[in-house]
Amino acid sequence: MKKRYLVVALILLSFVSLFIGVKDISPWDLFNLTDDKVQVLWISRIPRLISIIIAGISMSIAGLIMQQLTRNKFVSPTTAGTEDSVRFGILVSLLVFADASSWVKLLVAFAFALFGTFVFMKILERIKFKDSIFIPLVGLMFGNIVGSITTFFAYKHDLMQNMSAWLHGDFSTIMKGSYELLYISIPLVIIAYLFANKFTIAGMGEEFAINLGLNYKHVVNIGLVIVACVTSVVILTVGTIPFLGLIIPNLVTIYLGDNLKKSLSHTALLGAVFVLACDILGRLIIFPYEISIGLMVGVIGSGIFVYLLMRRKAYEQ
């Protein structure tokens, strides 16, 4: 798929997204906007569109980085315990810093996400059986352990309902003033692009990277910091979007290969287009109500994930 087609699709879907909602606004109204329609656009529709695009780009790239560093196509923040660690961090911030600002919650969530991701990488180093399915299963088990601890303390302190509602992926609550943390992802994506070639070399293995003069551990640490920070920002602002960092890099790899710098922009664009398409579909299926992005991406993403598994099995035979 050529990049220009993704750009055109993103522009068209972005335009469509602005005019879908309970408040009836048509493209022709742009030439004669009333005050209430201007407020709907600037306070709700445009912030929602920006948050969809940033979340789609950043989570897709986070998944691509993790897959490159672990040399496994089925590893992502979802299957490496990163998202579960973020949720645990958010719970701790609610318990310890009840009246804390979003920045404090972000720092605590980032610290837990980074620690959880490092633990997963350490587990990965000790695993001798490097099967591509076995490693994400280990990550899922690790994530379930962290998730169980989170659930225990959430029930104990009567925060389970709050956590479940808050951390479920949903763009309907995005308003002006509630999504600006997502802008942190933009410089992180730029850093990821600048380090793309180094991530590619690091993905070839520690010995190979060191022989080429690369500071392997330094590069891996930078990649994990980007993944942890991006995941924390997106979950704290939007909620969990399952499968996104898993399926988008795999789809891009099918037609572009494993060169990170070559596939980074395609992954970013496809991630944004995919999330935007799912969001529009979720708003139209039971209009004027809407299906959350977490559910839409979960259903569609799980189907694509099954396809990727079957495709891999067919190529192995």
Q: Is 101 helix (H, G, I), strand (E, B) or coil?
A: coil
Q: Could you give the dihedral angle defined by the CA atoms of residues 44, 45, 47 and 51, in that order, rounded to the nearest 10 degrees? A: 120
**Nearest to residue 223, comparing CAs of 253, 264, 277, 176?**
264
pLDDT, mean of residues 241-253? 85
pLDDT, mean of residues 49-54? 90
β-bridge mates for residue 39, sequence order: none
DSSP code for 179:
S
- With 70 as the cut, is the pLDDT of residue 1 above it? no
pLDDT, mean of residues 221-231? 88
Query: What pTM does this model have?
Result: 0.86
Q: What is the CATH number of domain 3-316?
A: 1.10.3470.10
pLDDT at 29: 65
β-bridge mates for residue 240, sequence order: 168
- With 70 as the cut, is the pLDDT of residue 221 above it? yes
**Nearest to residue 283, comparing CAs of 49, 36, 60?**
49
Q: Distance between CA 135 and CA 126 in Å, rounded?
A: 11
For residues 230 and 76, is the Cβ–Cβ distance under 8 A?
Answer: no
Q: Is 240 helix (H, G, I), strand (E, B) or coil?
A: strand
Look over the chain and give the mean of its residue pLDDT values, rounded to a whole number: 82
For residues 219 and 194, is the Cβ–Cβ distance under 8 A?
Answer: no
How many Cα atoms are found within 13 Å in the side-chain-facing hemisphere of 193?
14
Residue identified by tokens 């040399």 is: 71
Q: Distance between CA 298 and CA 296 in Å, rounded?
A: 5
* Count of Cβ atoms closer than 10 Å to residue 281 Cβ: 14
Q: Distance between CA 198 and CA 220 in Å, rounded?
A: 9
pLDDT band at 87 (very low <50, low <70, confident <90, very high): confident
Q: Distance between CA 134 and CA 304 in Å, rounded?
A: 19
pLDDT band at 273 (very low <50, low <70, confident <90, very high): very high
CA dihedral (258, 259, 261, 263) positive or negative: negative
Residue 237 CA to its chain's centroid (Å): 11
Q: Express each pLDDT in 106-132 by its tens digit.
A: 888 888 888 888 888 888 777 765 666
- With 70 as the cut, is the pLDDT of residue 312 above it? no
